[in-house]
Amino acid sequence: MIDVSGLRRVYAEGGLSREDLTPEPIDLFEKWLKQAIDSGIHDPNGMVVSTVNAEGQPSSRMVLLKNYDRESLVFFTNYGSRKAHELSENPKISILFPWYMLERQVAFQGVAEKLSVVETIKYFRSRPRDSQIGAWTSHQSSKISARAALESKFMELKQKFQNGEVPIPEFWGGFRVKFNTVEFWQGRPSRLHDRFMYTKNS
């Protein structure tokens, strides 16, 4: 086994103080997102989405942030996936942006709802054609016999949709996550990290 107990580093890239806080958390999030993009890290819009099933068992996976506004974050997925099933039973969700390279994380907690079909169509149309066909190919979270089966299905669908627009699968779409807490974390030396949490007044 690898001895991971000694893996640590000094977080000295920056700090976050009360004066840096914006009235709305989304403005600070946007500033950090921009810095993450400008830093050149891979998938700066990658976020860990955690859901909880009916037995109370949490599960996490990475998805990409595709839109946001003052009060919500949007991602797209397969509505037949495990995460979508879990959200239909329990819409509470947690989202984490793990920006290790910047010694930062931002954690959101909130409630997810399906995006309107109009908004889903708008995003689907903006995707590259192969990604549109890809959405048809995979019944996410279900087991397949072999990768080759997925690839041959993709080729088959490519043939089928070769003329005209690729229709939108009804089992695919977005989730809008309305957040009620947002926590910003900035690593500091000697484990004296900066943490600020915004909580929505209900």
Ligand X SMILES: Cc1cc2nc3c(=O)[nH]c(=O)nc-3n(C[C@H](O)[C@H](O)[C@H](O)COP(=O)(O)O)c2cc1C
Query: Shortest distance, CB of residue 68 to ligand X, whole angstroms?
Result: 14
Distance CA 181, CA 177 (A): 11
Phi, psi values for residue 187, rounded to 5°: -70, 140
Kindly state the smallest distance separating residue 77's Cβ from ligand X, in Å: 3
- CB nearer to ligand X: pick between 21 and 63: 63
Beta carbons within 8 Å of 142's beta carbon, 6+ residues apart? 80
Cα 69 versus chain centre, distance: 14
Least separation in angstroms between residue 185's CB and ligand X is 21
| Cα-trace Rg, the chain | 19
List b or e across 77-86, with b for residues whose CB sees 16 or more CB atoms inside 10 angstroms.
bbbebbbbeb
Interacting residues toward ligand X by CB under 6 A: 43, 46, 59, 61-64, 75-78, 81-83, 140-141
Nearer of residues 28 and 133 to ligand X, judged by Cβ: 133
Q: 73 or 166: whose CB is closer to ligand X? A: 73
Comparing CB distances to ligand X, the nearer of 15 and 98 is: 98
**Catalytic residue from among 8, 18, 70, 191:** 191
Euclidean distance between the first and final Cα of the chain, in Å? 48
Scanning the structure block, which residue is given the tokens 């931002």?
Answer: 106
Q: How far is the CB of 195 from ligand X (least distance, A)?
A: 26
129 in active site: no
Please count the other Cβ atoms lying within 10 Å of the Cβ belonging to residue 88. 12
- Residues with catalytic function: 191
